[in-house]
Amino acid sequence: MSIERKETVYVDGSFEPAKSDTRSEVIDPSTGSVIAEVPAVGVADVDRAVASARAAFDQGPWPRLSGTERAEVLNRFADSLNARTAELAATVTREAGFPAMFAEPVHVANAIEFVRYYASLARAEPFEQTRTSALARAEVRVRRCPVGVVAALVPWNIPLLGALSKLAPALAAGCTVVYKPSPETPLIAYMVAEAAHEAGFPPGVVNMVTANLEGSERLVSHPDVDMVGFTGSTAVGRRIAQACSADFRRHALELGGNAAAIILADAPAELIAAGLGATGLALNNGEACIAQRRVLAPRERYDEIVAILAATAEGLPVGDPGDPTTVVGPMITAEHRDRVLGHIEAARAAGALVAAGGRSVGDTGYFVAPTVLANVTNDMAAAREEIFGPVVCVIAYDTVEEAIAIARDTEYGLSSSVWTTDITAAETIGRRLRVGSVYINATLALDPGIPFGGFGHSGLGRELGPEGLDAYCEIQSLFVPSGS
């Protein structure tokens, strides 16, 4: 197979040769083979991308267009992405290893809806309101202004969803953007830039750089960047927050998770198998911050629930993500596969029982068998750290109060779930959990109209929904004397 070679970055409305002569390899995680090379750009390319975005914001038309005018371009952007649906889905499968059965409906079609949603919001949302100030004897124009130049840093596990959850609201608000994909999944970013170019954004409004570590650090600390939007690990998010806080620049961070799935005593076996098979083991190959990893099981049903989950795990097809029957694909890199297997071995050494999986799969690629760990306690590292693979830890509880306490005993607060036939009881439990999203008997989804984010070490701010647009706006009050 020939290797695809990219030589450009997208800056100021055109694809320009990268100034950096270093390259980054893109690996197919299902085979371990190199499928592409892209520029690994540093400070020089980042600086010209930021300069382009700065000029487009300060001098260009985009921030001064009406919401309706911006919506028209955003809808063209969505149309251009939609025309590339098959290619986008194939690329998600090839460079990230996510199974084909999920790539188009979850990673592509859902992401494009983010753009259409924010186009509709830009068209309908009042960016200015008039209020009366009796004290100032004035009419006050309360304006929602775009925050400015936005650096959008996107993870490999949601390469298109993560990009469009930032680009769409930022652009709808009137911001300009410098978009940096993960080095593991840069090919999607070139397709996004092509679609943006085709949509006709003014030069400098959308820029894309495949930055290396040095370039990325320059981007998040650049004095001409007004806001950083980041999805990724809590450790990196903390460094970004420190860099932004030093000069009071805005930042929105969607970070790690350690979800607890509370199974109540009345939950049917088939609900447990289907629901937690999907949300705990199969979701995104387990490489998802919202994966329901800590399964809290009532002690009187503990052995039964472990057996249900073990049978489910053993029945999930693992293999070539391009095969339409595959449910679980490879880990993103060999290093990440080894990290996941290391977590499993550490849990075994701490006293956990491997009820299913616990091993690598195949001689090529970076596959881990869906794994169920039993006899886990909440103080074990496997229950406290984000494994980020197809692994669930089953923890016993005696009372619902204890289950809630275990669920809350984590530094993270992104999502949780409750599984039961008693919806009223589930809602009551959900209201007591310190997490951004609670799913009752439901598979997980990123809905464009619903805010997503977390408490605690799971991040700052919310993406999606009207709240996602608010993140990219500043508020200005303009006092106009009454009667003028």
Active site (catalytic) residues: 254, 289
460 membership: H or E segment, kind and range: strand 459-460
Q: Where are the alpha helices (DSSP H) in 268-324?
A: 269-276, 302-315
CB contact at 8 A, 89 and 139? no
299 membership: H or E segment, kind and range: none
CB contact at 8 A, 369 and 361? yes
Query: Which amino acid is located at 388 in the chain?
Result: F
CA dihedral (468, 469, 474, 478) positive or negative: negative
Partners of residue 129 on adjacent β-strands: 142
Residues 450, 442: Cα–Cα separation, whole Å: 15
CB contact at 8 A, 180 and 219? yes
CB contact at 8 A, 357 and 372? yes
Task: Write down the residue that tokens 């249900």 correspond to.
Answer: 308
Task: Write down the residue that tokens 């589930």 correspond to.
Answer: 426
CB contact at 8 A, 226 and 250? yes
Percent helix / strand / coil, the chain, rounded to 5: 40, 25, 35
Residues 296, 299: Cα–Cα separation, whole Å: 9
